[in-house]
Amino acid sequence: MSRKNIILTLIVAVVVIGVFLLLNYEKIPSGSETVPNTSIEGQGQIPVSGEGEEEVTPSIPEWQNPEKPSQSAPMSTDGDVPSGTVKMTVTASGFDPSSFEVKAGKEVSLSITSGDQWTHIFKFKDGSLSDIAVGIGPGITRVITFYAPEQKGSYEYYCDVPGHEARGEKGEMIVK
């Protein structure tokens, strides 16, 4: 490749990077700064207050929004999991605990940890809870927040990885 082609390639690369940066640094009216949109899909820009302006509180993370259930990024079970969360561990032996109780129509936060070397996928069998799914790799913990069904009763959950439910990776959420 000639020197001229190398220089031309570098110029094109700089222009492409520049356009990318411009598209990800929009200004918010009122003179506030903007944090670049490098977050999980759906979280968008977070306003940051400037000097002399009122502090703007960022919105809650997607995984804490019960209106749109979404699993969290991997987190530490020591301090990252919010208090009041139902904590579960899944291994080849099953879920621990294998059942838990919640109140009808109330917000529920579940923390699910893979306690072995396997990947697991937490899901409910009931179609009304089809938006709730958590995929976890070995040793990983994730949290999801959602509203319990209004209908009281038992809702089965299981590991959706082929063969895992058959070996005992299942349980029930009891709505009272």
147: confidence class by pLDDT, cuts 50, 70, 90: very high
Q: Write down the pTM of the prediction.
A: 0.62
Kindly state the average pLDDT of the residues 154-172: 96
Beta bridge partners of 121: 135
Residue 135's pLDDT band, with cuts at 50, 70 and 90, is very high
pLDDT 10s digits, 62-97: 656 666 777 777 777 666 777 889 999 999 999 999
**Residue 42 pLDDT > 50, yes or no?**
no
* pLDDT at position 65: 63
- 110-132 pLDDT, tens digit per residue, is 999 999 999 999 999 999 999 89
- The pLDDT value recorded for residue 75 is 78
Q: pLDDT exceeding 70 applies to what percent of the chain?
A: 66
Q: Which pLDDT score, from 0 to 100, does residue 6 have?
A: 79
- Fold exhibited by the domain 62-175: Immunoglobulin-like (2.60.40)
- pLDDT attached to residue 34: 41
Q: What are the extents of the domains in the chain? A: 3-48, 62-175
The residue ranking higher by pLDDT, 20 or 4, is 4
Nearest to 84 by CA among 143, 169, 170, 124: 143
Residues with Cβ within 8 Å of 83's Cβ and at least 6 positions away in sequence, in order, are none
Q: Tell me which of 45-54, 78-87, 123-132, 163-172 is least confident.
A: 45-54
Gap between the Cα atoms of 156 and 84, Å rounded = 21
| Long-range contacts, 164-168 (Cβ 8 Å, 24+) | 164/92, 164/118, 164/120, 167/92, 167/94, 168/93, 168/94
